Amino acid sequence: MKEALVERLKEEIRYEFSREGPPEGFPKFPDIPAGRYREEGFFDLEMKHLWTKVWLYANRQEELPDPGSYQLWDYLHTPVVIVRDEEGLLHAFYNTTPSGKYYVEPHDDSGLYGERIFEEGYETKQSFQTQNEFPRRSLKDGVLKDPDTGQVYDLKGQPVSPTTDVDSLQELRCEIWDGWVFINQDLNAEPLLEWMHPLPEQMEMFQGEKLRLINKRRTIIPCNWKVTVEAFQEVYHFKHIHQKAGVSGLDQRGATMGVLPNGHSRMITPLSKRA
């Protein structure tokens, strides 16, 4: 984050502490129809025009450390398998055949696993290997095959006929920022870093690429997604919910907000002097 921006944010925090009411000329916001949160038709429009066209966070790249490592991921009820290839690159593929069968069967109801499809052999470190046999494997253009014989394999390492639909895995966009892996169904979407601008530059001080995942927990919140998002875009609840000995560690009075391109926002909240 550039020094000029840091100083501007500090000034905004001081201003927030000083004011005792809304800023002068602050507009009245329009009411939001309840149907935006409850109507199935509006949700269907979001699924069609929003969620299939934006970058969504999938996992951390260290969850797939080796060639053949994979993770199953539920992309808006669309099964996806994320695989690291023999060159160390990550790919995301739809995990269903045209006939609706899974390439890799889910192991439980969570949809989140980190395993290795193929064990590496001792002689060919840069190619996929099955656990019992050691023919070479190469994942390229959505096809897993032995580059010497041309034999095609499914994602479980089993040989299949080249004419089956396993030889045409459909790939999604998969890009990484600071170790965070994002996936997009829209093949024509702008690159991840451009879509996130200016956040990557403003957050580089946190050195996200050096982070390592220690534990992971998945929770399904039974509500419209906007209710959850909006709960993290305000600070009024701090002193009521996030308390330690009756005092929040953050002082919501000094919070300053920034509205950024592509639906992103930035919230800076100072630490409480009483914490």
Higher pLDDT: 13 or 231? It is: 13
Together in a domain, 19 and 34? yes
pTM: 0.78
In-domain check, residue 200: no
Together in a domain, 231 and 260? yes
In-domain check, residue 199: no
- Strand, coil or helix: 79: strand
Does 123 score more than 50 pLDDT?
no
Together in a domain, 63 and 171? yes
Do residues 172 and 53 lie in contact, with contact meaning Cβ atoms separated by under 8 Å? no
Helix, strand, coil tally for the chain in percent (to 5): 25, 25, 50
Together in a domain, 28 and 124? no
Higher pLDDT: 16 or 167? It is: 16
User: What pLDDT, on a 0 to 100 scale, did the predictor assign at position 167?
Assistant: 44
Together in a domain, 234 and 132? no
Does 166 score more than 60 pLDDT?
no
Which long-range contacts does 15-22 make (Cβ < 8 Å, 24+ apart)? 15/256, 16/253, 16/254, 16/255, 16/256, 17/253, 17/254
Share of the chain above pLDDT 90, in %: 42
Q: What is the mean pLDDT of residues 184-195?
A: 96
How much is the mean pLDDT over the chain? 79
Secondary element (H or E) of residue 228 = helix 225-231
Together in a domain, 136 and 246? no
In-domain check, residue 66: yes
Does 102 score more than 80 pLDDT?
no
What is the domain range of residue 112?
A: 56-186
User: Which residue, of 166, 186, 206, is where some domain finishes?
Assistant: 186
Together in a domain, 251 and 137? no
User: What pLDDT, on a 0 to 100 scale, did the predictor assign at position 36?
Assistant: 96
User: Which residue, of 186, 209, 243, is where some domain finishes?
Assistant: 186
Question: Domains in the chain: how many in total?
Answer: 2
Structure-block tokens of residue 97: 């055949």
pLDDT band at residue 65 using 50, 70 and 90 as cut-offs: confident
pLDDT band at residue 247 using 50, 70 and 90 as cut-offs: low
In-domain check, residue 207: no
β-pair partners for 153? 159
Do residues 91 and 85 lie in contact, with contact meaning Cβ atoms separated by under 8 Å? yes
Q: What is the mean pLDDT of residues 191-216?
A: 93
Mean pLDDT: which of 120-134, 236-250, 258-272 is highest?
Answer: 258-272
pLDDT band at residue 72 using 50, 70 and 90 as cut-offs: confident
In-domain check, residue 48: yes
Q: Of the candidates 128, 125, 122, which has an alpha carbon nearest to the alpha carbon of residue 144?
A: 128
User: Which residue, of 186, 204, 238, is where some domain finishes?
Assistant: 186
Together in a domain, 178 and 145? yes
User: What pLDDT, on a 0 to 100 scale, did the predictor assign at position 46?
Assistant: 95
In-domain check, residue 255: yes
Together in a domain, 48 and 68? no
Together in a domain, 224 and 147? no
Together in a domain, 30 and 71? no
- CATH code at position 177: 2.102.10.10
Together in a domain, 67 and 36? no
Contacting residues for 60 by C-beta, under 8 A, at least 6 apart: 179, 180, 181, 211, 212, 213
